Structure 1
Amino acid sequence: MATESEPNYSTEKNTRSYGAEEAGATIVPKSWKYRQLKIGSFTFPWYASPPVQLLIVSLVCFMCPGMFNALNGMGGGGQVDKSAGDKSNVALYSTFAVVGFFAGTFTNKLGIKTALSFGGIGYSIYIGSFLSFSHEHNYGFSIFAGALLGVCAGLLWCAQGAIMMSYPPEASKGRYISWFWMIFNLGAVIGSLIPLGQNIHVRTNSTVSDGTYIGFLVLTLIGAGLAWTLVDAKDVIRNDGSKVIIMKHPSWKSELWGLWETFRTDPYIIALFPMFFASNWFYTYHFNDVNGAYFNTRTRALNNTLYYIMQIIGAFIFGYALDQKRFRRSTRAKGAWVVLFCIIMAIWGGGYAFQKGYTRKDVNNKEVPFVTKDWSDSGYIGPMFLYMFYGFSDAAWQTCVYWFMGSLTNNGRKLANFAGFYKGIQSAGAAITWRIDDLGTPYMNMFASNWALLTGSLIIALPVILWKVEDTVSLQKDLEFTDESIEEVAPKSHLMEIGGEHVNEKA
C-alpha cells in the first residue's frame, strides 16, 4: 500500500519512527494521549485507545439516553397522564426516523464530538419539558422537545454506533458492544433507583417528583459536556498498532454519494431493515402497556430497575458469547440467530399468557377503577420475572443486531451509514407504535404486533446471517468501498485515511 511520507506506525518492535515511543509491541507517537499508567502489575490502556474512547462514549450514553430510558420506563415519562409522553415520543421518533437515516452523512461531516454533545443537549431539553409539564401541562413544549430530541438523538446514536463498531478489532467487537450496553444500561438502573427511593413508601399511582426530573436534567447536561473529552478518530490507535478507517475531509456531496453507494455495494443490508424496525417497537408495549398500566408508581420503579439490570446481564452474556474464538465467526452468527429465535418464542409466549389477564378497557374503566398491582400483592413474582426477561431479550436483540452489522465491515464510514440506517428505521417503527398506543389500540393487538415483528424480521434476516457474515473482512474490501464510492467527486489523493495515514492506492 502506498502512503504519503508520514510516520509509519508499525507493530514490529524494531521499527522506529519520528516522534514515536514504544508501548509494549506497538510504536505510538510521543504524546499524552498514548502514555500508559501502571498500577502494580496492571497497565491501563492509553487515552487514545479504543477501550478508553468507548468508555467515554458509554458514559455519555449512561447520562443522556440512560436517563431518558429510566424516565420513559416509568410509563408516560413519569406522568400519570400518559398522553403527553405518547405525543412527545411520536414527535421524537418521527424526526429521529428522518434524521437517523441520514445521520451517517451528518456525523461524518460534523465529527463525533459535535454529534455526541449536540445530542446530549436534546435529552436535557426533553427532560426539562416534563418538569414543566408537571406544573404547566404544556403539551406544546413537550411535543417540541420530543421533535428536537429526535434530531439530536439521531446524531448521538449514529456517532455512538460508528465508534462501537469500527474502533475495536474484529475479534473483540462482541465484547465492546457488551461493555457499552452494560455501562449505558447501568445509567438507566441508577436513574430508576431515584424514583424508587423517592416513592418507596407510596403505594398509590402518582407523577414522579420534581427532584427526579432535576436530577436527570443535571446528569444529561454533564453527559453532553463529557462528549468533548473524546479524541479525534484519526488519533485512535489500537493495541496492535492499527488505526481506524475513516474518511479524509468529506464533503456533503461525497457523503451523500457514499450513502447511495452503501446501498449499491451492500444491498443485502435491506434484509436487516425489518430487524431494525422491530428493535424499538416493543418499548411502547413494555413501558406503557405493561409497566405503566399494570403496576403502581413504586412497583414501576422497581420493575424498571430490574429490567435494566437484566439488560446488563443479557449484554454481558451475548457480547462475550459472540466473541468466543473456539468457533468461526460465521458459525457464531448462525448460533446467535438460533438462540435469539428461541428466546423470542419463549419469552413472548409467556407474555401472551400474562396479557390475557387484563385489557385496555379494564385499565381505563372509570366506573370500576382498575387496581394497579404493588410488589406486596400476591401473584406479583410471575409478572416481575416476565418483565425482567423482556429486558434481557431487548439486550440480546440489540447486541446481536450491532454485532451482525459490525461483522459485515470494519470501514468506519460505512458503519456510520449502517448505524444511521439502524437508528432511522428503528425510530420510524417507534413513532408508529407510540402513535397507535396513543390511539387506544387494544393491549392484545399491541402485544401481537410485537411478537409477529420480532419473529418475522428474524426470518427475513436469515439469508444475510447465512451467506454474508464472513470469518474476517479483508482490508482491501473495506478500502474498495471508500475508494470507489467517491472516485467521481473527490481527488484520489484525498479519498481515504487509516487514522492519519493517507491511502492513495488500493491495498
Structure 2
Amino acid sequence: MGTLLPYFASKTQVIILGFVCFGCPGMFNALNGTGGGGQVDRTAGNNANTALYVCFIFSGLFGGAIVNRFGVRFTMFFGGIMFALYSASYIYINHTGNSWFTIWSGAMLGIGAGIFWTAQGMIMMSYPLENEKGRFITIFWVIFNLGGVIGGIVLLATNYNHDGPLSDAAYGAFLTIEVCGALCALVLAPPSRVQRTDGSGIEIQKVENIMHDALAILRLFADPRMLILIPMMFSSNFYYSYQFGPYNGSLFTTRTKGFNNIWYWGAQMATSFLFTRMLDHPALSRKIRALTGVVTTFCVVNAVWSGALHMQSKYTHGATSTSQTDYPGGPIDFMQTSRAAGPCILYACMGIQDALWNNMAYWLLGTITNDATRLARYAGFYKAIQSLGAAVSWQLDAKNVAFKTQLVVNWVLLDISSILMCYLSFKVQDTANVFREYEDQVAVKAGITEENAAAIDTPLCGYESPMLS
C-alpha cells in the first residue's frame, strides 16, 4: 500500500469526522435537548422533528446509494448546511411567531441528515480494523458529544439571565458553528485513498445506478439479522422526545436546560470511553464482549427508567403560555441545589444510557461485515428505521400523549430490544470474514456473477444467515 500518510490514516479521518459532527448534529442535539428547539411552546419543534424524521426515513433508505455514488465529502457538506438552516429558522419564529419555516427546514434537514448519517455510519464501521472498532467509536463519540457540551455552555451563557424562548444570540451562535462544521466535511479524504492502521485500503464499490443500490437496501428487510435488530434501531432515537421534552423541557428553567445539556453530553463522552474499552478488550472473545455489553446496557436502561418513573409520578405537564409546570415548587433551577441535584443527576444518567445504547448498536452492526459498501447500506437502513421511531415519538409529544404513557412505551420498547440484542450477541463470530465467505457461497448458488453483482450485490438477503442458524 505504500507509506501511510497521517492525513490519509483512518484514525485521522475519524477525528475529522468527529469535528464535522461536533459542529452540525452536536449543536442540533444541544438545541433539541432543550425541548421544542428552545421554545416554551413545543408544538412547532415537535412538528418540525416529525417532518425531519419522516423525510429522514426515505433519505436514509437511499442514503447508502447516494453516498456510494457521490462520496462522503459533498454528501456530508450538504447535510451539514441543512443543520444550519434549521437553527436559523428559530430566529424567524422568534420574530414572527410563524412555524411554517421551522417545519419546512425540519423536512429539509431530514433529507440532508439521512445522507449525512449514512456517510458517517459507513466511515465509522468500515475504517477501523476489527480490534479497533470500539476505540474508533470512542474517538468519534467523545469529539461529537463535545459539541453537545459546548452547545450547553452556549445555551447557559446566552440565557443565564433570560427565561422563556432562547435568545437570537443563542440561535446565531449555533448557526455559525454549524456552518463551520459543514465546511469541515470538505476536508475529508475520499475513502479510496484512506488507509487502515495495518496499511490496507478501504474497498468501495462504485455505484452507477442509484435505484439498483436503493433496492439492495430495501432487500435488507429480508435479512434475518436486520429484522432482529429493527426494534433496537427503532428505539435508538425514540427516547429523545421524552428525555428532551417531558423531562428536561418541562421540569427546568431555561438556563438549567443548558446546564443539564452540559452534563448529559459530557456523561456520554465518559461512558463511551469506558464502555468501548471493554468492547475492544483483547482478552475476551467477541461473543463475550457482545453479551457483556448488552447485559450492561440492559441493567442501566432499567435503572434509569425506574428513576424516571419515580420523578414522573410527581407531575403531569410542563410550562405552557399561561401556566407553569405542576411539579411541586415549580420549575427547577440548578442554583436550588437541594431541589436540583437528583433531577439533574438523573438527566445525566439518561445521557449514559444513550451512549451505551448507540455505541452498542454501531458495534453490533460492525460485527456483521467489514465491507464498506455493505456497511453504507446497513448504516442507511439503520438510520431509516431509527428515524421512523423518532417520527412516531415526536408526534406522541405533539399530540399531548400523557407523559407517563410515553415513559412506559419507551421502557417496554427498550427492554424488548435488549432481549433481541442479547439473542443476536450469542451468534457473534470472532471475525466478520466468515460472513463474506458465506455470502460468496450464497452468491454462487444464486447465480450471481461479477458482471451482475453491481446491480444485485445483496446475496445474503433472503437466505438463512449462519449467525442465526
TM (norm. structure 1) is 0.84
Q: Is the contact made by 1:487 and 1:495 (CA closer than 8 Å) also made in structure 2?
A: no
Match of 1:93 in 2: 53
Map 1:28-177; keep pairs closer than 5 Å: 28=3, 34-35=4-5, 46-177=6-137
Match of 2:466 in 1: none
* Structure 2 stretches lacking a partner, 5+ long: 457-469
Alpha-carbon distance in 2 for matches of 1:316, 1:102: 32
Alpha-carbon distance in 2 for matches of 1:154, 1:376: 39
Q: How many residues align?
A: 452
Map 1:439-458; keep pairs closer than 5 Å: 439-458=399-418
* Structure 1 stretches lacking a partner, 5+ long: 1-8, 10-26, 29-33, 36-45, 497-507
Alpha-carbon distance in 2 for matches of 1:481, 1:347: 44
Rate the CA distance shift 1:487–1:50 in 2: closer, same or farther, 3 A. Answer: farther
Match of 1:503 in 2: none
Say yes or no: does 1:251 pair with 2:209: yes
Deviation at 1:234? Answer: 0.9
Structure 2 residue corresponding to 1:349, chosen from 306, 316, 334: 306
Over residues 443-467 of structure 1, what are the superposed CA-to-partner deviations in whole Å (9 max), with x where a residue is unaligned?
A: 1111111111100111123322111
Over residues 468-496 of structure 1, what are the superposed CA-to-partner deviations in whole Å (9 max), with x where a residue is unaligned?
A: x1111227816946994998696379899
Match of 2:186 in 1: 228
Structure 2 residue corresponding to 1:298, chosen from 255, 258, 279: 255
Rate the CA distance shift 1:249–1:433 in 2: closer, same or farther, 3 A. Answer: closer
Rate the CA distance shift 1:153–1:481 in 2: closer, same or farther, 3 A. Answer: farther
Match of 2:430 in 1: 471
Structure 1 residue corresponding to 2:227, chosen from 247, 262, 270: 270
Structure 1 residue corresponding to 2:171, chosen from 192, 207, 213: 213
Structure 2 residue corresponding to 1:199, chosen from 143, 159, 164: 159
Say yes or no: does 1:286 pair with 2:246: no
Give the aligned residue type for 1:243: G
Alpha-carbon distance in 2 for matches of 1:420, 1:294: 35
Q: Is the contact made by 1:408 and 1:473 (CA closer than 8 Å) also made in structure 2?
A: yes
Structure 1 residue corresponding to 2:388, chosen from 428, 434, 456: 428
Alpha-carbon distance in 2 for matches of 1:261, 1:82: 37
Q: Is the contact made by 1:411 and 1:478 (CA closer than 8 Å) also made in structure 2?
A: no
Match of 2:341 in 1: 381
Secondary structure of the residue aligned to 1:226 is helix
Alpha-carbon distance in 1 for matches of 2:438, 2:65: 18
Over residues 376-402 of structure 1, what are the superposed CA-to-partner deviations in whole Å (9 max), with x where a residue is unaligned?
A: 223211111110100011001000000
Secondary structure of the residue aligned to 2:225 is helix
Structure 2 residue corresponding to 1:415, chosen from 370, 375, 378: 375
Deviation at 1:418? Answer: 1.0
Rate the CA distance shift 1:74–1:257 in 2: closer, same or farther, 3 A. Answer: closer
Rate the CA distance shift 1:280–1:48 in 2: closer, same or farther, 3 A. Answer: same
Alpha-carbon distance in 2 for matches of 1:201, 1:139: 26
Over residues 217-241 of structure 1, what are the superposed CA-to-partner deviations in whole Å (9 max), with x where a residue is unaligned?
A: 1111111111111111111112212
Structure 1 residue corresponding to 2:266, chosen from 309, 330, 336: 309
Deviation at 1:167? Answer: 0.4
Match of 1:462 in 2: 422
Deviation at 1:290? Answer: 0.7
Q: Is the contact made by 2:213 and 2:455 (CA closer than 8 Å) also made in structure 1?
A: no
Q: Percent identity?
A: 38
Residues 54-63 or 247-256, more deviating: 247-256
Rate the CA distance shift 1:165–1:466 in 2: closer, same or farther, 3 A. Answer: same
Q: Is the contact made by 1:120 and 1:156 (CA closer than 8 Å) also made in structure 2?
A: yes
Alpha-carbon distance in 1 for matches of 2:154, 2:437: 45
Residues 128-137 or 150-159, more deviating: 128-137
Rate the CA distance shift 1:487–1:77 in 2: closer, same or farther, 3 A. Answer: farther
Deviation at 1:201? Answer: 3.6
TM (norm. structure 2) is 0.91
Q: Which runs of 4+ in 1 moved over 6 A?
A: 492-496
Alpha-carbon distance in 2 for matches of 1:129, 1:112: 26
Q: Is the contact made by 1:410 and 1:478 (CA closer than 8 Å) also made in structure 2?
A: no
